[in-house]
């Protein structure tokens, strides 16, 4: 049912007005931590028709978890996961280090593949894969298992053993989940690197993890043309001190350099490998994978996830968040496996649940070749996602608010041209969704009948933490609603006192199975980053609000990590890349509101003496950041300024820089060392081109 009052932006009166340095825990009174939130009174309860077939329609699981949450998670682990040896202890907790399901032995690939084949479901489709050029593959569980066993043996033939680490830098092709599952089969930890990242990112991640092997492809298709991958690996390898071998998938047939003795083709190692590879029983706390995420220092953090707890949380949340009926559903998470969303909700959760999923290689604005009109990709149809939903009969669609805002920009005529009546649950991931986008998604994609599950979680949490469950929760557009059963969330103020209504810092008060086990090679950094600000509580820098109905509203980050298209990017990393340019002396980066990407990156730079500002130099500096960090980190605009607004203590007042690019009136400038600098910056910002 839809309420009468629309959402409206308001100023957030947080119970704190300080900025927290997550490294030191010190606060400095300067600028609002988060400036806006939405007031929303419209509500959407589950329909009677949906509830009649839903897996869960009451709050019994929350009640069970409240009574004994360790027993609750033990039951989920035993019901949803197959164990070679049962665990004897559910949880061992010494803040901030947790161990779950101690004594248990299991294998992730067995849970994702073998048990379904053994149950007679080998002919069930695991993936409907579609390449951007329109090529397709239908892959059954039995076929996927056969490929995983062969590639696991190929890894062993290449010298990999349990406990080793490998890097994976691939497009969205079936060989990517095959490689991941093969690693889990023999106890090798994988580090998947997003295919849009630069050679420098490959170097950083391979060296930090001491990766012995890289699995890549010649290229992947993107917007109608091959996008090179092996060439980037080649540029990185001279600086990758531990990499011994490179396995290359021939996806696009482009010419690549193959170094004898180091580089091998995927097809060749598969042909030479034995077909049978029994799954290795692994300890519940065996390292499963590393995934690197931006930090508040320039060095990315290698987030560690282990086997038993992670698998328990992703299989459980995938089942109930999406109300999964694996016998009939066709599920699609339209993310990239290079991010944690793809790990948890394309590969491990869906396969462990025996689901049939869609896997798509390309972009939503690249139609099948027979539907492309003209040579200009910008003029092509923008309905590839809706075309896929219609042709495969997708029942659950999970995508990002950034994508939804882009679809809104493209217009409702594209989805309206397709029959998407098979959809029954919609999901969002990566950032809070604004109510206008929520309503558009509800009306134009869900036909005003699909529940929307707006999920909050992080690379660090492993799986969903706050989300509606579609048969239970009355939703509000823009609110992630409530914590899932077995997860305990509290908001606190600057002093760590609980906030029961209004805004505060989002903290987690008890350990959960899918939680990160640390930062690779840096246990002190792990404790300091996540557990030092509020002792005994996990805090990763998000602000949130509790409304009068007890609904949670995520308000964004309170540190200096930006959220661009759902991807967390450190201001420090971008500033370091800017200063790396030979003409730049100093830089400051802010994330400003953007209608499409949620936040856009703006870089303010001071030039070294003897250099003159120009449009050409601004563009050169932008592209330099893309070269250093990848296109996702390229600033929307580079603004060359004579100075930066700083307090007398030397702190850059980023709030003023955000105000300038967002066109707002400036707040208090009395603490500036030089108040005149703001007007100079405003003038330069007005002159700067908006390149993207």
Residue 238 backbone dihedrals phi, psi, to 5 degrees:
-60, -25
Give pLDDT, residue 32: 33
Per the structure block, which two tokens stand in for 620?
A: 């050169």
Among 688, 631, 654, CA closest to 194: 631
Give pLDDT, residue 675: 60
Give pLDDT, residue 692: 56
Domain boundaries, the chain: 101-424, 561-687
Cβ atoms of 37 and 514 within 8 Å: the answer is no
DSSP string over 276-313:
--PPPPEETTSEEEEEEE--SSSSPEEEEEEHHHHHHH
Among 14, 24, 155, CA closest to 504: 14
Span 292-344, pLDDT tens digits: 986 544 578 999 999 999 999 999 999 999 999 999 999 999 999 999 999 99
Residue 658 backbone dihedrals phi, psi, to 5 degrees:
-65, -45
Query: pTM of the entire structure?
Result: 0.83
d(CA 603, CA 600): 10
Burial 534-568 (b: 16+ CB within 10 A, else e): beebbbbbbbbbbbeeebbbbbbbbbbbbbbbbbb
**Alpha carbon of residue 357 to chain centroid:** 18
Give pLDDT, residue 15: 36
Length of the chain: 692
Give pLDDT, residue 674: 57
Q: Can you list the residues of the chain whose pLDDT is less than 50?
A: 1-38, 296-297, 648-649, 668, 670-671, 689
**Alpha carbon of residue 662 to chain centroid:** 26
For 561-687, CATH number out of 3.40.50.1000, 3.30.70.2860, 3.30.300.30, 3.40.50.150 equals 3.30.300.30
Rg for the chain, CA atoms, rounded:
25
Three-state DSSP at 395 gives coil
Cβ atoms of 647 and 653 within 8 Å: the answer is yes
Cβ atoms of 254 and 155 within 8 Å: the answer is no
d(CA 309, CA 100): 6
Does 101-424 carry CATH code 3.40.50.12780?
Answer: yes
Cβ atoms of 283 and 105 within 8 Å: the answer is yes
Give pLDDT, residue 638: 94
In SS3 terms, 557-577 reads as: ECCCEEEECCEEEEHHHHHHH
Span 128-164, pLDDT tens digits: 999 999 999 999 999 999 999 999 999 999 999 999 9
């Amino acid at each position: 049912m839809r309420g009468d009052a629309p959402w409206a932006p308001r100023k957030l009166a947080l119970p704190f007005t300080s900025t927290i340095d997550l490294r030191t825990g010190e606060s400095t009174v300067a600028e609002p931590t988060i400036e806006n939130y939405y007031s929303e009174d419209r509500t959407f309860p589950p329909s009677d028709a949906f509830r009649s077939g839903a897996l869960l329609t009451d709050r019994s699981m929350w009640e069970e978890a409240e009574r004994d949450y360790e027993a609750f998670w033990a039951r989920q682990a035993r019901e949803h996961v197959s164990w070679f040896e049962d665990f004897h202890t559910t949880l061992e907790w010494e803040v901030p280090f947790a161990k779950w399901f101690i004594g248990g032995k299991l294998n992730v690939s067995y849970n994702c593949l073998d048990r379904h084949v053994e149950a007679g479901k080998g002919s069930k489709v695991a993936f409907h894969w579609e390449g951007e050029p329109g090529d397709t593959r239908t892959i059954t569980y039995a076929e996927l298992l056969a490929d995983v066993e062969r590639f696991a043996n190929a890894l062993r033939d290449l010298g990999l053993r349990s406990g080793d680490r490998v890097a994976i830098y691939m497009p969205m092709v079936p060989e990517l989940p095959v490689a991941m599952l093969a690693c889990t089969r023999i106890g090798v930890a994988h580090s998947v690197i997003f295919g849009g990242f630069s050679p420098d990112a490959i170097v950083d991640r391979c060296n930090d993890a001491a990766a012995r092997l890289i699995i890549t492809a010649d290229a992947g298709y993107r917007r109608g043309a091959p996008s090179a991958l092996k060439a980037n690996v080649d540029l990185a390898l001279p600086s990758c001190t531990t990499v011994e071998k490179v396995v290359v998938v021939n996806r696009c047939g482009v010419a690549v350099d193959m170094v004898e003795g180091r580089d091998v083709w995927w097809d060749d190692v598969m042909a030479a490998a034995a077909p049978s590879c029994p799954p290795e029983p692994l300890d519940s706390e065996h390292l499963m994978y590393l995934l690197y995420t931006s930090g508040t220092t320039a060095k990315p953090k290698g987030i560690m996830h282990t086997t038993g707890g992670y698998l328990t949380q992703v299989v459980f949340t995938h089942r109930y968040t999406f109300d999964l009926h694996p016998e009939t559903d066709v599920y699609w998470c339209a993310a990239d496996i290079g991010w944690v969303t793809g790990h948890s909700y394309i590969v491990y959760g869906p396969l462990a649940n025996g689901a049939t999923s869609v896997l798509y290689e390309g972009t939503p604005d690249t139609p099948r070749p027979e539907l492309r009109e003209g040579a200009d990709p910008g003029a092509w149809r923008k309905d590839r996602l809706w075309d896929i939903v219609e042709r495969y009969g997708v029942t659950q669609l999970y995508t990002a608010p950034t994508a939804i805002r882009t679809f809104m920009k493209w217009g409702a005529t594209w989805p309206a041209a397709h029959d998407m009546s098979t959809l029954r649950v919609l999901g969002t991931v990566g950032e809070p969704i604004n109510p206008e986008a929520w309503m558009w998604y509800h009306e134009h994609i869900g036909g005003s009948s699909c529940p929307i599950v707006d999920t909050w979680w992080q690379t660090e949490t492993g799986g969903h933490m706050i989300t509606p469950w579609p048969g239970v929760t009355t939703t509000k557009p823009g609110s992630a609603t409530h914590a899932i059963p077995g997860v305990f969330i509290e908001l606190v103020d600057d002093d760590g006192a609980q906030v029961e209504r209004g805004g505060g810092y989002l903290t987690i008060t008890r350990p959960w199975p899918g939680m990160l086990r640390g930062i690779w090679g840096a246990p002190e950094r792990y404790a300091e980053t996540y557990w030092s600000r509020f002792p005994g509580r996990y805090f990763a820098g998000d602000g949130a609000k509790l409304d009068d109905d007890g609904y949670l509203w995520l308000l964004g980050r309170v540190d200096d990590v930006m959220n661009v298209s759902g991807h967390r990017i450190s201001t420090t990393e971008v500033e370091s890349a800017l200063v790396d340019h030979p003409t730049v002396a100093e830089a400051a980066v802010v994330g400003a509101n953007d209608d499409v990407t949620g936040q856009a990156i703006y870089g303010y730079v001071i030039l070294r003496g003897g250099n003159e500002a120009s449009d050409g130099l601004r563009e050169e500096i932008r592209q330099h950041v893309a070269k250093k960090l990848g296109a996702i980190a390229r600033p929307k605009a580079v603004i060359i300024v004579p100075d930066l607004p700083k307090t007398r203590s030397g702190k850059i007042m980023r709030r003023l820089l955000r105000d300038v690019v967002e066109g707002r009136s400036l707040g208090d400038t009395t603490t500036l060392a030089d108040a005149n600098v703001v007007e100079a910056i405003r003038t330069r910002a007005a002159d700067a081109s908006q390149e993207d």
